């Protein structure tokens, strides 16, 4: 296949995911696994796990960065940018349109029934990915213990990045000491300098200042996109640029639009500076992720070749699966609270785990339709 054909393929795959990827990072990664590993076999499941583990160690939105890694694997550096932009674009476009309606008319569409139906379907998709990735990650009983410890830590409220790093370090050290022969070790670590911009009270916020504010947040944001809201509260609400109600509306937009939840930046950018504020906030938020992935991707095969880093990556991988499981448990307890959501989850299980596999895209659509129909039922 020619390079242009590969780029076109990458664009179509991730644009489609960007249109239907509801449910947060864990769901996005599950849907990606189905598309690029199970269906198209762009890479092995082992390598996909390595990419997940590495992505969890750098700032930025995990699922968006995974699209970039997958694009790079399929079509090189151009594929990295094509995949990331294709995945982000639907969410940014929809969010920008909703921001325009909100700022000019003060209203948002009623989408709660659709989201109520999508959420149980997403839970089943995440469960399917956990089973497949877990089989590859659990290479021995020691890794299983690390996974259990990280799962417990996550459920007890330990930050997911802290749990991942501790799991990776403990596992890497254990397996390195256990091995009889020392392999290649990392001789030096080049520090990654993160852009940092001094916060200031922005009375009249301009396009450049919007860009720098979101560039700062995008450069230091660790964990899932939901951590973004704590940063935005400190950067914007505390300085009087947004009210709590406006931030909550922006969070709602990020929840029910497909693709990365960080498209919330697009909505807030429009609130602060209109069209160009929207563009500046979006560019500032996502630019660091492109740079981080571009820098990191070439080193992942070398990490696997190094004995000590290979042990570390194995441990981080199983920890990442454990974190996904913790997300599934937490989301299930908050979602499966009535007969409608339980029924949609059961139907989704039949679709995802049944003898005839159904595309996860159709599972999402099915959930949305059943959620909408559920509002008309009297009980």
DSSP string covering 97-164:
HHHHHHHHH------HHHHHHHHHHHHHHHHHHHHHHHHHH--SHHHHHHHHHHHHHHHTT--HHHHH
Domain housing 236: 1-379
Roughly how many angstroms between the first and final C-alpha of the chain, as a whole number? Answer: 54
The 10s digit of each residue's pLDDT in 165-193 is 788 888 888 887 777 544 443 333 333 32
- What is the tally of structural domains in the chain? 1
pLDDT at 128: 83
CB 367 within 8 A of CB 344: yes
**61-65, 146-150, 162-166, 373-377: the lowest-pLDDT one:** 373-377
Helices 264-296 and 244-256, interaxial angle, to 10°? Answer: 60
pLDDT for residue 104: 81
The more confidently predicted of residues 306 and 256 is 306
Range among 194-203, 323-332, 352-361 rated most confident: 323-332
**According to the model, what pLDDT value does residue 8 have?**
95
Confidence of residue 48 (pLDDT cuts 50, 70, 90): very high
Q: What is the mean pLDDT of residues 80-101?
A: 92
Q: Does the pLDDT of residue 34 top 70, yes or no? A: yes
User: What pTM was estimated for this model as a whole?
Assistant: 0.71
Instruction: Check pLDDT > 50 for residue 105.
Output: yes
Instruction: Inform me whether the pLDDT recorded for 293 exceeds 80.
Output: yes
Q: Which residue has the higher pLDDT, 232 or 378?
A: 232
In this prediction, residue 200 has a pLDDT band, given cuts at 50, 70 and 90, of very low
Closest by alpha carbon to 323, among 85, 87, 30, 16? 30
DSSP 353: H
pLDDT greater at residue 310 or residue 83: 83
Mean pLDDT, residues 109-137: 78
**Amino acid 187: pLDDT:** 36
> CA-CA distance, 371 to 353, in Å (whole number)?
21
Question: pLDDT value at position 195?
Answer: 36
- What is the tens place of the pLDDT at every residue in 213-238? 889 888 877 655 555 665 677 778 77
Evaluate if residue 280 carries a pLDDT over 90: yes
Residue 63: pLDDT over 50: yes
Tell me, what's the pLDDT at 90? Answer: 92
In this prediction, residue 92 carries a pLDDT of 92
Give CA–CA dist 218/68, Å, rounded: 16
């Amino acid at each position: 296949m020619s390079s242009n054909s590969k780029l076109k393929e990458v664009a179509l795959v991730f644009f489609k995911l960007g249109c239907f990827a509801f449910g947060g990072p864990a769901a996005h990664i599950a849907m990606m696994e189905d598309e690029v590993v199970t269906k198209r076999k762009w890479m092995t499941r082992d390598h996909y796990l390595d990419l997940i583990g590495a992505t969890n160690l750098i700032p930025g939105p995990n699922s968006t960065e995974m699209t970039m890694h997958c694009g790079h694997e399929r079509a090189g550096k151009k594929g990295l940018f094509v995949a990331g932009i294709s995945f982000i674009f639907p969410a940014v476009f929809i969010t920008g349109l909703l921001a325009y309606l909100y700022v000019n008319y003060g209203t948002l569409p009623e989408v709660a029934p659709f989201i109520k139906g999508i959420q149980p379907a997403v839970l089943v998709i995440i469960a399917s990915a956990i089973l497949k990735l877990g089989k590859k990650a659990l290479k021995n009983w020691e890794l299983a213990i690390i996974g259990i410890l990280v799962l417990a830590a996550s459920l007890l409220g330990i930050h997911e990045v802290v749990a991942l790093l501790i799991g990776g370090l403990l596992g890497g050290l254990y397996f390195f000491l256990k091995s009889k022969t020392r392999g290649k070790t990392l001789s030096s670590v080049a520090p990654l300098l993160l852009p940092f911009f001094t916060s200031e009270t922005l009375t009249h916020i301009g396009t450049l200042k919007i860009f720098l504010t979101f560039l700062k947040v995008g450069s230091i944001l660790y964990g899932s996109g939901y951590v973004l809201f704590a940063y935005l509260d400190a950067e914007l609400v505390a300085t009087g640029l947004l009210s709590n109600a406006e931030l909550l509306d922006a969070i709602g937009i990020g929840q029910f639009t497909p693709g990365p939840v960080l498209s919330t930046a697009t909505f807030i950018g429009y609130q602060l500076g209109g069209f160009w504020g929207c563009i500046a906030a979006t560019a500032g938020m996502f630019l660091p992720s492109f740079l981080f992935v571009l820098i990191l991707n070439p080193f992942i095969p070398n990490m696997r070749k190094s004995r000590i880093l290979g042990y570390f990556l194995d441990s981080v991988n199983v920890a990442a699966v454990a974190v996904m499981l913790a997300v599934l448990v937490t989301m299930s307890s908050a979602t499966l609270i009535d007969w409608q959501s339980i029924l949609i989850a059961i139907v989704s299980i039949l679709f995802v785990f049944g003898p005839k596999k159904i595309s996860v895209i159709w599972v999402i659509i099915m959930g949305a339709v059943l959620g909408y129909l559920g509002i008309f039922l009297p009980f």
